[in-house]
Chains A and B, each alone.
Chain A
Amino acid sequence: MTSLWSFLLQTLTVSAVAALLLVLKAIFRDKLSPRWQYGVWALLALRCLLPAGPAGQGLLPLERWVELAKTCVEAGLSSAYADLWTPVTVASPLPWLTAAPRSVTDWLFAVYAAGVVCWLLWFLIGYLRLRRTLTVLPEGDGQVERVAGRYGLPLPRVARAPVASAFVCGPLRPVLVLPEGGEVDDKVILHELLHLRYGDLWLNVLGCLLRCLHWCDPFLWWVFDRVGNDAEALCDQRVLERLEGEERRDYGRILLSMADDRYARLPGTTSMANGGRNIKARIQSIARFKRYPRGMALVSLCIVVILIPACLTGPAAAAAALPAVSDRDARAHLERDELEDALLRGLAAARVSRPSTVAGALDCYAKAVVNNNGYFLAAVTDTQGQRELYDTLLERNDETWEWGNFYLDLGLFPADDPGRDPTDQRWSSGAMPPYLVLNLTETESGYDAEVAFFYQQVDRESRPHLYLLTHRVEVARGEGGWLVEKTGEDGPAELSDLEAADFSFGVRYLAGHDLAQLSLPEQDGLRPTLHLQRISLFSDETLSYLPHDHGGMICAFGNNATPSPDLDARFASSLLYGCLEVRCPGASPGAEYHAGHEFNVYAGDERLYGSHTSGAVPLWPHETEGSIVAPRSGVGALETDGGVLADRIQFSFTLVEETADGERPVAQIPLHEVSLDLTEVIP
């Protein structure tokens, strides 16, 4: 812990776990054994010793709350221990001052750290003073030897002191302290010897250390008291398991006689008396004493198994939500300084809402683009990038003050329409534009991918236009999640009427975005090439790939069921598909061509895809020097849902030129089969 905020995060995380355990202990108070009641606190001890944050999201969205609080408070300060843009993390559960304090929050943390030292000294001095007053009996004590021998327990050194009740102290060289001049019941000695036998003194030392670390959290101090009480209740259980009949009732009476005694808790000591209210609870526990059947261990263990992730890492569903687009309305009437505060808070939320998966990061990035939402972009941008984003967002909002929107022009907004309100619904279809994740490939630092956006806009004459924009991105791990960086873009390019018509049926082929290409043998002057692309399908149910019987077409795409990103999105599958492109070098520029083809894809005996055009199909007007390209000659799946790749294709192609005298066949590839080894060409 190196700042006030990391201490807050740590102590709140521990408190949340303690609260959960208290709820469960209340439910199972009279149902599960004292061993479980005490043992389950081990989860709290582990939580105290593990730094909050890196292991998971936490039981509550505490990281988000603390980050928001830090952002609000630190915005006007220049602290040495906390940086406005660096998310709050806990590197160690121990406090550490890294520099001289400069701000109020720095001084508060310094006071906290000094408090930890003071409490440690307080406990240490108290313990040493106690040990100094004790005089160990060199000859030992016959009664203690007899009890230890009878029950097979370790024999400690014994001291007599003017105390009301027996206790043990000193984990390294334990001393059993007995009241001076008074008779001590065997059962009291047995109780204290059992503390020694089971190492409760060491656990008591640990408890005191944790009290020091959380000295300014009264809730945790109360919880640590409860832990001590549970230790005593477990010791009672162990005593009762060694006693019979009337002895058990005597033990209850002894406890009752201690109801008015109370000892301050010191490290390395245990005391049977722990206050009237706790004694009452222990007597009630004795009244329902039973030897819990061995089978109870199973259910006790199973409950702990379920609790472990919750207490130590936190459920994944605790991911914080990013500010929604609808927040625009709320911001519309803010003053400038309020707007800056809102922006800082929004970015703070984004810093602690990192995507946990590659799919989540790409979904977040894509939705940042389609919504022009700076917060979404911030969630996949590193700390340095967020500083620049803050300046950009403020600058942009100076220009569009009346809309009060933290919007970014990320490429989709029409450049030729500057007077348009960017907060308007821009998508003429009324739905968010879909996007595709293309050609996701693993690299040394993470992943490369292309994100393709399709969107339709209506011009001033109400004519629809379909656009395609692609962003090349790198996805890499960093700052507690996955980050996305744009490395390039193509477009936006308006699609031709033919392309638009084709896209209206679904994704067919994105020219120029190949994962790999496979040149096929030239025939009759025609040069066929198989272009390969991979689309990563989200787990979102709106996505589907129609199987061969229904056309083998990707008919829906994009994780676009909701406008907010799914930070934990997963890719359910990926689909490799191919496009057979035929180049015709002898074609005349400007002439109109039609083509007919048959295209079948096989994996073993299974036909993955098949298409056949009996009539002539108009070609896309893709012309290069002295050649025309026929990219629609076949687009289909080259991979089954189970990941089996195609091993051969069958195709034919006929090119027809349209002349004033009618149609004239130019060239032809007869139906034939080509074997494929896609594993060699796919990266």
Chain B
Amino acid sequence: MSGARLRSLLGETAWGVLLVTFDFNVGTLDILPDFLGWFLLAHAVKELAPELPQLPLLYPLAAALGAAAVPEALLQLLGEDLWAALPGYLSSAAALILAVIRIYFFFQLFTDLAGLAARLQPEGRRLDRAMRWQRNARTALDTLVSLPVIYPALSALGDHPAAVAALIVYVWGLLFWALWCLLSLRALVPGEEAPAAPDAP
């Protein structure tokens, strides 16, 4: 795979992570829609196969998360909540399945990208370690954050100011950490070989 193509796909991955992690709503319109992020990630993991042969295993997971995010976004546009519209047990089961898929997706994505970083980084640079730390932190915190979504009885925890502060740190901190890792990895990708200069007459 050419360096330019690899850099483009890593940029796509960074955009995908940004879109699925962060929401910015104008009224009922989310101008950073999750489904777009998942489809970008799905495309990126499929196309990165020549560099990371295991990564396409994540493609169906990203596609499923993207497909679930489409009706959610459409109903949000109409001022409705998809999960409230479903029967309680169905929404809980769906939320549970989507939560575990999401947790695994990011874990494996950053595991594989850390492997790529280990191959590309110069000696002494520890970007792969940083990516694995980021991966571990994201996995643990995603689990904690998912529990109240799946089990509303735990949602009272969200009323606590410390929980709100932790959530803000979680969203922003992990987002910046993940983007820094991805952009650093992108910067490690070697550029195209410059064409040889014509011999002097």
Known contacts A302-B140, A306-B100; is-contact A317 B111 (Cβ 8 Å) = no
Q: When the two chains form their complex, are residues A295 and B136 in contact, meaning their CB atoms are under 8 A apart? A: yes
Kindly specify which of B15-23, B38-46, B91-99 makes contact with the partner chain: B91-99
Other-chain residue from A23, A298, A568 in contact with B153 (beta carbon distance below 8 A): A568
How far is A309 from B148 in the complex, measured between Cα atoms in Å? 11
Interface 0/1 of B143-156, CB less than 8 Å to A: 10011001111001
- For A293, the chain B residues whose CB sits under 8 A away are 111
Q: Quick one: which of A542-597 are within 8 Å of B by CB? A: 568, 570, 572
Q: When the two chains form their complex, are residues B104 and A306 in contact, meaning their CB atoms are under 8 A apart? A: no
Other-chain residue from B57, B92, B156 in contact with A318 (beta carbon distance below 8 A): B92
Known contacts A295-B111, A303-B104; is-contact A316 B153 (Cβ 8 Å) = yes
- For A298, the chain B residues whose CB sits under 8 A away are 107, 136, 139-140
Interface 0/1 of A300-337, CB less than 8 Å to B: 00110111011000011111000000000000000000
Report if A660 contacts B (CB, 8 A): no
Report if B61 contacts A (CB, 8 A): yes
Q: How many A-B residue pairs have CB under 8 A?
A: 88
Report if A31 contacts B (CB, 8 A): yes
Report if B108 contacts A (CB, 8 A): yes
Q: When the two chains form their complex, are residues A317 and B139 in contact, meaning their CB atoms are under 8 A apart? A: no
Interface 0/1 of A106-131, CB less than 8 Å to B: 00000000000000000000000000
Report if B101 contacts A (CB, 8 A): yes
Q: When the two chains form their complex, are residues B136 and A306 in contact, meaning their CB atoms are under 8 A apart? A: no
Chain B interface, number of residues (Cβ within 8 angstroms): 32
Q: When the two chains form their complex, are residues A315 and B143 in contact, meaning their CB atoms are under 8 A apart? A: no
Known contacts A27-B101, A30-B57; is-contact A299 B89 (Cβ 8 Å) = no
Other-chain residue from A27, A302, A568 in contact with B61 (beta carbon distance below 8 A): A27
How far is A299 from B110 in the complex, measured between Cα atoms in Å? 12
Q: When the two chains form their complex, are residues A317 and B100 in contact, meaning their CB atoms are under 8 A apart? A: no
Q: When the two chains form their complex, are residues B139 and A299 in contact, meaning their CB atoms are under 8 A apart? A: yes
Interface 0/1 of B31-71, CB less than 8 Å to A: 00000000000000000000000000100010000000000
Q: When the two chains form their complex, are residues B146 and A306 in contact, meaning their CB atoms are under 8 A apart? A: yes
How far is A317 from B150 in the complex, measured between Cα atoms in Å? 8
Q: When the two chains form their complex, are residues B89 and A31 in contact, meaning their CB atoms are under 8 A apart? A: no
Q: Quick one: which of A588-638 are within 8 Å of B by CB? A: none
Q: When the two chains form their complex, are residues A317 and B89 in contact, meaning their CB atoms are under 8 A apart? A: yes
Report if A468 contacts B (CB, 8 A): no
- For B108, the chain A residues whose CB sits under 8 A away are 31, 299
Q: When the two chains form their complex, are residues A315 and B103 in contact, meaning their CB atoms are under 8 A apart? A: no
Q: When the two chains form their complex, are residues A318 and B140 in contact, meaning their CB atoms are under 8 A apart? A: no
Known contacts A293-B111, A306-B96; is-contact A28 B89 (Cβ 8 Å) = no
Known contacts A293-B111, A303-B103; is-contact A315 B146 (Cβ 8 Å) = no
Q: When the two chains form their complex, are residues A568 and B152 in contact, meaning their CB atoms are under 8 A apart? A: yes
Q: When the two chains form their complex, are residues A299 and B107 in contact, meaning their CB atoms are under 8 A apart? A: yes
How far is A321 from B67 in the complex, measured between Cα atoms in Å? 29
Chain A to chain B contacts (Cβ below 8 Å), 7 pairs: A61-B89, A298-B140, A303-B104, A306-B96, A309-B150, A315-B88, A315-B151
User: Which positions in A face B, CB cutoff 8 Å?
Assistant: 20, 23-24, 27-28, 30-32, 59-61, 293, 295, 298-299, 302-303, 305-307, 309-310, 315-319, 356, 568, 570, 572
Ranked 9 nearest A-B pairs via Cβ: A315-B92, A317-B88, A316-B153, A299-B107, A302-B143, A318-B89, A317-B92, A303-B100, A60-B89
10 A-B pairs besides A295-B132, A299-B107, A315-B151 with CB distance below 8 A are A27-B61, A295-B136, A299-B103, A303-B100, A305-B143, A310-B92, A315-B89, A315-B92, A317-B92, A318-B92
